[in-house]
Amino acid sequence: MIGNFAIFRFKMADTTNVYASIRPIIRNVRFINAGSSTKLSMRSQLVVRTSGEHEFKAKKSGKSIEECEAHVVAGNALDAPVPPKPEAQNPAIPIFPLQSRPRRNRRSRVLRKAFQQSQLSPSNLVYPLFIHEGEEDDPIGSMPGCYRLGWRHGLLEEVSKARDVGVNSILLFPKVSDALKTPAGHEAYNENGLVPRAIRLLKDKYPDLVIYTDVALDPYSSDGHDGICREDGVIMNDETVYQLCKQAVVLVRAGADVIGPSAMMDGRVGAIREALDDEGFQHVSIMSYTSKYASALYGPFQEALDTKLSFGDKKTYQMNPANYRETMAEAIANEAEGADMLLVKPALPYLDVIHRLRDNSSLPIAAYQVSGEYSMIKAAGFFRMIDQEKVMMESLMCLRRAGADVILTYFALQAGRCLCAEKR
């Protein structure tokens, strides 16, 4: 059995070997996305290949390890490997007079691993989790494999799975009942709200768990925006920051380790830093959403939290995807205000921004592989357009190569399992 293929070998009367493989094709499977579904068909396909004189056969000396060692000690050199002969169908040409052949460093897996310049481990990953008030875990249609977890049981079970593979950092997002949503997002700083309760529960069960929390009003706002909306549609900056400070303090009192102000309001980092310090929380870190772009890749996330804009868009506070110099202005301001790390969101389409921040800041850099990035890889893998696992791992390694120290990804659990399997 190789991957998804079952391979059989038969010996024919003329000594020719016949190989047959049975390969599964999808049938009667539905992929759900935002209320619509696609039905596929499945059948088994038989693939036959014959191999005669071209079959490779490994040659063995016939000696045991002890006999080989004795042979060498006696001064009898073993036969050197015979260079492969050029096949008849290949062109006969003189060897190029190259002093440098970079492929020499790629010729074996051991060498490639030894010279690898970027590394990825479970400790680099932060696992974003959606929670709700219910007891059951509700699947999110546009994010296959992701759920709105029941905060009492499902959340604890998912965190336990992540910790088993070395992922010990999570980020919480709440799905809040519409009845609790208001224009000013008052539920955001309710000390007995969903997120503070979940934090206290997690810290009681796993004291060393690192909990990141989002600080923004959109899950709690009846308008669906990250800030307070004026009657004429303007998102009010300073009034929103005042609310964000109260939200941050409540989350830290519950036990949050890292505050992530994602609302992109001017001055939010400095105001939150001052509010936390005034409460005696100088040890709590701030992960500033330095470059949060007004991206179309947030769609599945909005479904997960059931947040809908009552009007307009978020372009007056989130960044223009066409800009990169603006990132440096935001980074300079955030550092001066007391940020402890800088985040880029989305991630893969903004590798240049991650790299620019890495080259110009000494702070840790975080990258958020958002819901749209996750769902695209999942969908393409489901339809067998790509190898989902390989593309997942490649995308995460690319973020590390660009300069991300921390990666927020919905693949954290799956990637952690892959990394643990590699070590074994």
Class of domain 122-423: alpha beta
Distance CA 233, CA 317 (A): 13
Options 175, 181, 314, 345, the catalytic residue: 345
pLDDT at residue 23 tops 50:
no
Instruction: Label residue 353 by pLDDT band (50, 70, 90).
Output: very high
pLDDT score of 60:
59
Residues of the chain above pLDDT 70, percent: 84
* Of 219, 154, 146, nearest in space to 371 by CA: 146
pLDDT at residue 4 tops 90:
no
Structure token digits, residue 98: 């190259």
Distance CA 147, CA 116 (A): 35
DSSP classification of residue 420: H
pLDDT digit string, tens, across residues 324-343: 999 999 999 999 999 999 99
- The torsion of the CA quartet 308, 313, 316, 320, rounded to 10 degrees, works out to 120
Q: For the whole prediction, is pTM greater than 0.85?
A: no
Domain locations in the chain? 6-51, 122-423
Tally helices (H) and strands (E) across the chain.
Answer: 12, 17
- Contact yes or no for 345/289 (Cβ under 8 A): yes
Task: Tell me the β-bridge partners of 33.
Answer: 36
- Contact yes or no for 336/329 (Cβ under 8 A): no
pLDDT score of 219:
95
Residue type, 15: T
> Residue 19, SS3?
strand
| Dihedral sign computed on CA atoms, order 312, 318, 324, 326 | positive
Catalytic residue list contains 345: yes
Instruction: Label residue 40 by pLDDT band (50, 70, 90).
Output: very low
Options 175, 181, 292, 314, the catalytic residue: 292
* Of 268, 170, 257, 258, nearest in space to 217 by CA: 268
pLDDT digit string, tens, across residues 198-236: 999 999 999 999 999 999 999 999 999 999 999 999 999
Residue with tokens 């074996």: 108
pLDDT at residue 292 tops 90:
yes
Distance CA 291, CA 366 (A): 10
pLDDT at residue 1 tops 70:
no
Q: Which residues contact 308 (CB under 8 A, 6 or more apart)?
A: 224, 302
pLDDT at residue 370 tops 80:
yes
- Contact yes or no for 199/172 (Cβ under 8 A): yes
Give every strand in the sheet of 6-11, ordered side by side. Answer: 6-11, 17-25, 43-51
pLDDT score of 20:
45
pLDDT digit string, tens, across residues 252-275: 999 999 999 999 999 999 999 999
Catalytic residue list contains 59: no
- Contact yes or no for 29/19 (Cβ under 8 A): no
- Contact yes or no for 264/318 (Cβ under 8 A): yes
